[in-house]
Amino acid sequence: MKKLFITLSLLLCFVLANAQNSMTFESVTYINGVGASDVPRFIELHKKFADMAVGENRKATGEWLFRHWYGSGHTFVLYDQYNTMEDYMADSDLYLKNVKAKIDAMKDESEKEAIKKDWSEYRAFSDGHTDEVRAIATDTGFLTTADVNFDVPFVMVLGRYNSSGSWTKMGNAFFDWRIKPEVDAGTSIAGGVSYHYMGSGPEVEVWQCYNSLVDFATAVTTTTAQTDAAKESSKTFWSLVTGAHEDQIYMHIGHVDLEKGVFDLAGPNK
């Protein structure tokens, strides 16, 4: 009970600290235990039903699929972004409504039965999944270099931490220490910070994207001069870290192209 009270108190502090900020929300789903031989089939089915679920009635402003590359845990992670919690709550039903409508519209009964079997197979991959909702402040939630091509298998690196104090102060410190300088220098193509809102998950999560594993390796092994402000932000960040932290590396598999209305696999002509 004491731990729950502390967590709720810190969440309230985060909300109050960001009261002047526009907040968006991110649904995160972790798909566990997909064997290596089943990975291509999961991706095939995910694309099939993501395409069927697309519609003007949907509320998601972004839908991204990543494969786990390094670290402990899950096989895939799905990120869906929403402008409000109301949009998040409504979108699951709209997803299912669109898929059902596409299946019901099929005239060929054998085709309809086949897609229903595919649906059952796809849903079975979610057995044992975990999920959470994270909050994002507009000023630190997403920063990118100009004219980034996200239609590539880019690398996303995550750090997941709990804080001994202000979540916002901790997230802002990482943003000022690592994300902004690297994006400004062009060594990272994008980065941002999110905060625990609902479900199970770390209090502060930071992420950075790189065009390739080579670019990532170069960025983390190359020594570059830091400003005094960046050094101070580093000290602030680490002073607020409590307990063990977790690092993950993901590979971008694909995302919903909202203009084209399809799930776009990473890479040209996919």
User: Which stretch of DSSP H or E encloses residue 116?
Assistant: helix 109-124
H or E stretch at 206: strand 204-210
**How far apart, in whole angstroms, are the C-alpha atoms of residue 213 and residue 224?**
19
Reported as a pLDDT band with limits 50, 70 and 90, residue 226 is confident
* Structure-token match 């298998």, residue found: 153
Residue-wise pLDDT tens digits, 93-142: 999 999 999 999 999 999 999 999 999 999 999 998 999 999 999 999 99
pLDDT bin (cut points 50, 70, 90) of residue 88 is: very high
Q: Which two tokens stand for residue 94?
A: 């709209």
pLDDT at position 247, please?
92
The C-alpha atoms of residue 79 and residue 37 are separated, in whole angstroms, by 23
Mean pLDDT across the chain, nearest whole number?
91
Q: Report in angstroms the alpha-carbon separations of 122 from 47, 90, 148, 159, 269.
A: 10, 22, 31, 29, 24
In this prediction, residue 3 carries a pLDDT of: 41
Tokens of 235: 């000290």
Please say if the pLDDT value at position 1 is more than 80.
no
Kindly report the pTM of this predicted structure.
0.90
142-215-151 Cα angle (round to 5): 55
